[in-house]
Amino acid sequence: MFRCCTRSLLVLVPSLLLAQTFLLGSRALAHDSWISRGGLRNTAGEWCCGEGDCPALNYTPRVTASGYQLNNGEVVPFNEAQPSPDGSFVRCHRPDGSRRCFFAPPTTN
């Protein structure tokens, strides 16, 4: 009985980890697709995204007088935020983790 349960766990745990990785990765890739397809660039002319580097934020940034304040303390000036067509907040980053592009839902006045 113990041996059967152990074998089941050896199959089940890696499968769950793989599924979680796929699901989380597909969330980032979904945003990468509309960003890539749109040929979007930042103000310096850099492409906004490469594969997997434009995940949606899982929180709503705080709006300050200076811009959008992210949980890591970074403030994205309003003039550096591009409109997000799917209504999500998305931060694209370079390999070193620095911000490349930022997308925010269009504001309603």
Digit-by-digit pLDDT tens for the chain (109 residues) are 555 544 543 444 444 333 333 334 444 455 556 777 778 888 888 888 766 788 899 999 999 999 999 999 999 999 999 999 889 999 999 999 999 999 999 876 5
Strand, coil or helix: 97:
coil
- Domain ranges for the chain: 2-104
Res 20: pLDDT: 39
Q: Show Cβ contacts of residue 4 under 8 Å, excluding neighbours closer than 6 positions.
A: none
pLDDT in the model for residue 109 = 57
pLDDT at 43: 85
Q: Of all helices (H) and strands (E), which one includes residue 9?
A: helix 2-37
